[in-house]
Amino acid sequence: MSETAVLLCGHGSRDPEAVAEFEEAAAALRVRLANLAPGGDFATGYLEFARPTIGEGLAALTARGGSSRSRACCSPRATSRTISHGR
C-alpha cells in the first residue's frame, strides 16, 4: 500500500458546471495516480460553495486509513470555469 494520500483542493463554485469540470479533472488524476502509486488514496475537497469541503475530504481520507500514512499531499487547483470572472 502506498503511504501517500492526496487531497485535491478546489475553490468551489455555485456553478454546477464548474464543479463538474473540477470533478472530471480529479477523476482523470485519480486514475493516473492509481497507475503510478497503486494502493494510494485520493479525495477532493472544496473551500466553499461545493461539497465535500476540504475538512470532509480530509476526514474521508482519515476514515480510510489516512491517519496511518506517513505522507499527505494537499494540492490546490482551479479550472477555467472556477476562475472565470466574466460570467
> 30: which residues sit within 8 A by CB, 6+ positions away?
42
Label residue 40 by pLDDT band (50, 70, 90): confident
Q: How far is CA 6 from the centre of its chain?
A: 7
> 34: which residues sit within 8 A by CB, 6+ positions away?
40, 42
pTM over 0.75: yes
pLDDT value of residue 66: 63
For the chain, the structural domain boundaries read 4-83
Burial grade of 14 (CB within 10 A; 0-12, 13-18, 19 or more): exposed
* Segment 54-67, tens digit of pLDDT: 999 989 988 888 66
pLDDT value of residue 62: 87
